[in-house]
Amino acid sequence: MFQPLHASATRAVEKLRDIGEPLPDDLASQLAKLADGSQSSAAVEDLLRPYVLVDVSIDEQGLPISTPGAAQPRLVQHGWRSFLVRIDNPHRLVGDLAAQSNHVLNTVDYHSHAARIAMADTLTIVPRIKSSWLEVKLAGPTDVSGLDVEYKVISLYSRDGGSQSGELGFVLAVEEAEHSYTRPPMAKAWRRMGSENRPYQASYEFDCLSARDIRFDIREPDGSSCVAALTVRDSQRRSYPSKGMRLAPDMFFHEHVYRATGEVITLPIGQYEISARRGPEYREVRVEVDLTADDDAVTIELDRWADPARHGYYSGDPHIHAGGCSHYSVPSEGVNPETMIRHVRGEGLWMGSVLTWGPCYYHQKQFFSGSSISPRAELEWPAMQQAQGMNWDPQDTDHDSQSLLRYDLEVSGFPSSHSGHVILLGLTDQDYPGTKIIEDWPSYNLPVMRWGHAQNAMVGYAHCGLGLSVSTSELPNYVIPGFQSIGSNEIIVDVPLGAADFQCGAEFDPASELNIWYHLLNVGYRTLMLGETDYPCIYDDGPGVGRTYVQLPEPPQGPQALESWLGGLKDRASYFGDGRSHVYDFAIDGDTTREQTADAAGPVRVSATVAAWLPEDPPALPAAGQPAYSAPVGWHLERSRIGRTRTVLVEVLVNGVPAGSQELVADGNEQAVEFDVPLERSSWVALRILRSVHTQPIFVELAGRPIRASRRSAQWLHDSVDALWKAKSGFIREAERADAREAYDAAQAAYLTRSDEAEVD
């Protein structure tokens, strides 16, 4: 039985290394030598014994009895420490192990992903927070394998400094042959533990190293104050504040927290690497500090490499949430505008559309006002923060007024959501006429889109690529997708009926997102495309992972800021992407207007100023066995890098097909690009760096003829309506199905007409 014990011990030692608390260097090598030499189980146990905090013995009934091990119980205030756990399992039971303590705060419910505990019997949870100071969790696999002896890793977080008494124990959910949906094994295990009168927890006197407030003096390059995303790690890569016990506005699923100039993070003395960023227009700044007892502040100057607003382009994310999804899934909960504005400011965004949707609809709709707002970034629950030992006062900054929120609506979790999630931007009324509850709303999207338009809102589709993947990266392609998801699905019915304005993406594979857009443009529609994040549902990182830049004569400000931004989106230049590349002043023959005319076919000059920034070298591939969660996914300029160079490809498109390209060094400098392109017929023209940036098209109509650039695009759209009906019609209410079919028929008729009008195949 040496090999399984040794493998378990090695895995635990490697886990400690991976989470940044490695055991002494020679221990791992001594452990490895045992596999080659003596193969003595006792030698493995002797080697690890000094680092074991808890010895656990599992009896024949599956009750884990814990006793203190040899490791010193030394913790750190507002930080994690990790130790080995030795599990003695003579009856070779198999199950799932959970760590517990009577002092656990449980601010995060990992099952429901709620950010605050739900205690229905109390009005306030502050007393519970005050009495809780310890968080415990098993790091890594929690399964008990059935070995006689195996090792696990436990991590402990202390909110408080000084000497603290506490207990640690474990619960084992034993695998059972009979599966119960109402009484899963862990629930049975907890109930069994609750009825035990034997002591099963180990008691400790923990020595917790104290921490104190460190003030961050964050500055823009011009010296102005601002909000930024700060990631603080100690020399062993542990994050601060601890992710395990965060309260809004700090999120447990972020590595970073958002802090304004003059605000604090609580840290013990020691060495730290602090990185700061304010969205993709900034290069990450890394500062290494050695905090002594005399230090109380850290200065950070941000490194901005692009400033689109200086060119008149203002950023926005049309799709972020204050409730639901990755975090606040207690249906009536979420965070307040005071938290959302902090996150938007910290990502350097001008506009953030906070969309209320299904689960949080009835709670979050209270924040809808029909106006753009820029509230002070107050703490939502100061008493809870104080009870948790986080005493900090929000600070105003010089850039606060530049970021605004607008509460609007995403039709997600509504009866029509099967046809794609609709985003409505610029609503004046958020309740569909004649409805009292969500379930009363229409069961297909077209009526909702028309209702939005009646309010002068702009309406379109979220996470457009979902349901449109066809296992090819070719663009354009003519494969009919299944439309069996919640992206730009019904858009092919709504656009020809004048009821949809845009789709949002920059999240998934470009082929699944752009193909439908290119086809719509090819038959003459003016559908817009925006970059979005769907924060924190698709991307947890922060608002503005996908973003849209709109050219405006003045910054969007005041209660009508969103309307100004949307107005620019309709009529002026804009581009979308990951914010790591930018296209300014995109023009045809020097003209930046979106709608242009010419008398006859002929060459045109396409020009723009393009800037992109990549590190000089690509990121190192992760070591074998190491997670690669930081690898770029979705739209990310790193995925545009040509080989291992620092160059990316700028392409000019005519009717969705590249008509020229030019390599660009992504060194952050603005560079002029020019292409001479023949226009043979009425066309749309755009620039892109695939997976990073795409402009809205400029439409050029020759000799007064509309754009009918592809008969195959018209046919693809027509045939796709059939696939859409096949996928969606069963979800449409019987009472609405005839009207829906009529709309589908009208859309198909429009595509047939445009197919007949097309000049080329």
In the complex, the residues that contact another protein under the rule CB under 8 A are 1, 3-4, 7-8, 11, 94, 111-113, 141, 143, 145-147, 175, 179, 321, 324-326, 329, 331, 355, 357-359, 410, 412-413, 421, 462-463, 466, 469, 471, 486, 508-509, 512, 534, 537-539, 619, 621-622, 624-629, 631-634, 639
In whole angstroms, how close is the CB of 414 to another protein at the nearest point?
11
Q: Which residues of 308-320 are buried (b: 16+ CB within 10 A; e: fewer)?
A: bbebbbbbbbbbb
Place of tokens 């040899």: 70
In whole angstroms, how close is the CB of 132 to another protein at the nearest point?
24
In whole angstroms, how close is the CB of 168 to another protein at the nearest point?
24
In degrees, to the nearest 5, what angle opens at C-alpha 146 toward C-alphas 140 and 152? 25
Side-chain half-sphere CA neighbours of 88 within 13 A: 11
Tell me the C-alpha to C-alpha distance, in Å, between residue 464 and each of 313, 490, 519, 525. Answer: 24, 11, 14, 17
Rounded Cα gap, residues 32 and 4, in angstroms: 13
In whole angstroms, how close is the CB of 11 to another protein at the nearest point?
6
Among 17, 11, 64, 68, smallest CA distance to 35 is for: 11
Measured from the CB atom, the residue of 498 and 622 that comes closer to another protein is 622
In whole angstroms, how close is the CB of 392 to another protein at the nearest point?
30
In whole angstroms, how close is the CB of 418 to another protein at the nearest point?
13
Measured from the CB atom, the residue of 47 and 537 that comes closer to another protein is 537
User: What's at 281, amino acid-wise?
Assistant: E
Rounded Cα gap, residues 733 and 742, in angstroms: 14
Residues 6 or more apart whose CB falls under 8 angstroms from that of 753 comprise: none
Helix (H) or strand (E) holding 742: helix 734-757
Measured from the CB atom, the residue of 143 and 301 that comes closer to another protein is 143
Rounded Cα gap, residues 406 and 564, in angstroms: 12
Measured from the CB atom, the residue of 7 and 209 that comes closer to another protein is 7
In whole angstroms, how close is the CB of 193 to another protein at the nearest point?
21
Asked if 206 and 159 count as a contact pair (C-beta separation under 8 A), the reply is no
Residues 6 or more apart whose CB falls under 8 angstroms from that of 235 comprise: 270, 271, 272, 273
Rounded Cα gap, residues 295 and 636, in angstroms: 38
Rounded Cα gap, residues 77 and 70, in angstroms: 22
Measured from the CB atom, the residue of 151 and 613 that comes closer to another protein is 151
Q: Which strands sit side by side in the sheet containing 52-58, from one edge to the other?
A: 64-68, 52-58, 79-88, 149-158, 134-139
In whole angstroms, how close is the CB of 327 to another protein at the nearest point?
10
Measured from the CB atom, the residue of 21 and 638 that comes closer to another protein is 638
Side-chain half-sphere CA neighbours of 222 within 13 A: 6
Measured from the CB atom, the residue of 232 and 466 that comes closer to another protein is 466
Residues 6 or more apart whose CB falls under 8 angstroms from that of 171 comprise: 64, 97, 98, 100, 186, 189, 190, 193
In whole angstroms, how close is the CB of 145 to another protein at the nearest point?
4
Tokens of 94: 């198999």
Q: In the 8-state DSSP scheme, what is residue 367?
A: G
Residues recorded for the chain: 761
Measured from the CB atom, the residue of 602 and 622 that comes closer to another protein is 622
Tokens of 6: 């040794």
Helix (H, G, I), strand (E, B) or coil at 231: strand
Place of tokens 């100057």: 301
CA 166 to chain centre: 36
Measured from the CB atom, the residue of 180 and 299 that comes closer to another protein is 180
Measured from the CB atom, the residue of 206 and 357 that comes closer to another protein is 357
Rounded Cα gap, residues 585 and 568, in angstroms: 14
Tokens of 574: 């804009």
In whole angstroms, how close is the CB of 531 to another protein at the nearest point?
15
In whole angstroms, how close is the CB of 112 to another protein at the nearest point?
5
Among 610, 571, 621, smallest CA distance to 592 is for: 571
Helix (H) or strand (E) holding 5: helix 2-18
Measured from the CB atom, the residue of 376 and 726 that comes closer to another protein is 726
Measured from the CB atom, the residue of 293 and 623 that comes closer to another protein is 623
Measured from the CB atom, the residue of 423 and 550 that comes closer to another protein is 423
In whole angstroms, how close is the CB of 421 to another protein at the nearest point?
7
In whole angstroms, how close is the CB of 692 to another protein at the nearest point?
13
